[in-house]
Structure 1
Amino acid sequence: MKRRTLLTASVSVAATAVPSVSTAKGKSDKLFRQAPMKKRAEVWMQQVKPAFAIAYFLGEADEKKDTRPPFGNDKDASGKPQETLPGTQVLLLESGIDGSDQFLDVANLVARVRQRARVPLEKLLTLVEAVVQPEITAPIAECYSPHHIVICYDKIGSPCGAVEICLTCNDRRMYPGGEILHAYDGCDIAKVARVLAEVGLPLSGERNLSVDDYAKEVAEQIRYIEKRREEWRLEEQKK
């Protein structure tokens, strides 16, 4: 099995376990990049054309079962080839921030998936709206250890799009159109969480967290940031 799967490749896959595929050059759609904000989710759906979507809840990699053989220049301090655990990300960015070439780390997905659920396309649209055209944005921290990913598939089961989410730091990545996200402070992460909860996925593997409690936590974060911004603004006025 190849370690990485280019999302833009042609492949026959199962909906719940994506096997290896051949790679191909990924291309961002100019129509999506140039679309008005209120139309971006709709344009994204038109570009991806998902036949169905699966949301995955990811656990931690098992050191005994999921350790990988040395890859490339992976070496320890003594210079010997070093085995590694899968990283925390399934959607990998390979060519800067423009999002033109992104890969699924298939081995990581298979090793870490703990639960999965079908996402109706109308709920997928709601989730994408929360990501690319948010009315409320939550502040982003720096951990980015995503435990959720929604993968879109075409009619033959090939992955054609993805949205990866970290509910801890409120950040997200997506394909196609990853470059669009860099224009935002964040997304409507509470709305994203509500969609994940509605399809039956847990929000956390460490605690029993309801979507309402999570939304309250996010609202508190937003109020804190707004308060700090007002304090900074007043401090600047005094200078």
Structure 2
Amino acid sequence: MAKSASFLFEVRARSASVKAKPIRSVKSASAAMRPVPAFSIESLQKNTYVMGPPKAQKQRYMIQPKATSFRMYYERGDLPIKMEYLTGGDKIAWTVDIDKLDYGLYLPLFFDGLSETRHPYKTYARQGVQDLLAHGGDKIYPVIPQLIIPIKNALNTRNVEVMCVTLKIIQQLVMSSDLIGPALVPFYRQLLPMFNAYKVKNSKYRRNRRAHIHTHAQARSSSIFRFQLVSHRPAKFQ
């Protein structure tokens, strides 16, 4: 009797331990699945799932421009300009003959100042660029590759005032010489994406800008311009 009682007690204890053991649910099984990158060998393994693409980060803010080389030169007093305070508004004056300036140095430097948003830096830079383009002529063409990064930086600020001024400067640039339009062709891919992001903001201004580039960039440049403009989908502006 004692042996049978102990046997029954042992059987009951084992059955109780089996009932107390947790049962693995479907939810816990799915939680154990391991994320793997898409288009990889790991995606063929069991208990894995493919991770989706990263979410695009919408840029809802303006990019604050960094300290420009133009500002550094201005604060050191290395720029051959000064401010004239007139009743009709402030105007810059050149301390040297503008026709004798080294365009390889000063034109990219003043273009770099287009990103500035504070006075007097923006005033000096914008009026300086306009004066240099008005008197540059054939001296502008060799400097075109050095102007692309400053123009791109100014457009990437997403500051409406800076972008509008930069677009007007581009119009003046392409009209300053017949050689400028074809020289800009290799750089369309760097400049046009930001144009597309804002091209729906002002259709009239966009038509004028495209007309200037078409006119001064000649046939080959115009065809590439149309191709690049279509190939870059416009980003939605918030």
Higher relative contact order (CA 8 A, sep 6+): 1
Instruction: Calculate the TM-score normalised by the size of structure 2.
Output: 0.25
Instruction: Calculate the TM-score normalised by the size of structure 1.
Output: 0.25
| Structure with a larger share of its residues in helix | 2
| Structure with a larger share of its residues in strand | 1
Question: Which structure: larger Rg?
Answer: 2
